[in-house]
Amino acid sequence: MSDKSILDHISALVDEEQHLRDGAKAPGQNAERIRHIEHQLDQCWDLLRQRRAKREFGEDPSGARVRDEKTVEGYEG
């Protein structure tokens, strides 16, 4: 997966999240899907950061891997 494809996926997820938030008729509607999207976004941003760090230090960015939600959620930024 290239940086561009990760960024494209992030963009699509952000668009979907915004669409779900804008289209909600009641509080909490679409909440489960929105939470899932938020987790996916965290994982995508983490993967992109890993790839950039590997590239910066002369490593192969393709060695970066998607980390599980609990690992990514535990980070403080």
Q: What's the CA gap between 50 and 66, in Å, rounded?
A: 9
Please name the residues in contact with 45: beta carbons below 8 A apart, sequence gap of 6 or more: 10
Tally of domains in the chain:
1
What tens digit of pLDDT does each residue of 41-77 get? 999 999 999 999 999 999 999 999 999 998 898 776 5
pLDDT at position 28: 84
Q: What's the CA gap between 25 and 3, in Å, rounded?
A: 35
Q: Which residue, among 72, 50, 74, 75, has the nearest Cα to 62 in the 3D structure? A: 50
Q: Which residue, among 44, 37, 43, 50, has the nearest Cα to 68 in the 3D structure? A: 43
The residue segments making up the domain with residue 58 are 3-73
pTM listed for this prediction:
0.88
Residue 58 has φ and ψ, to the nearest 5°, of 75, 15
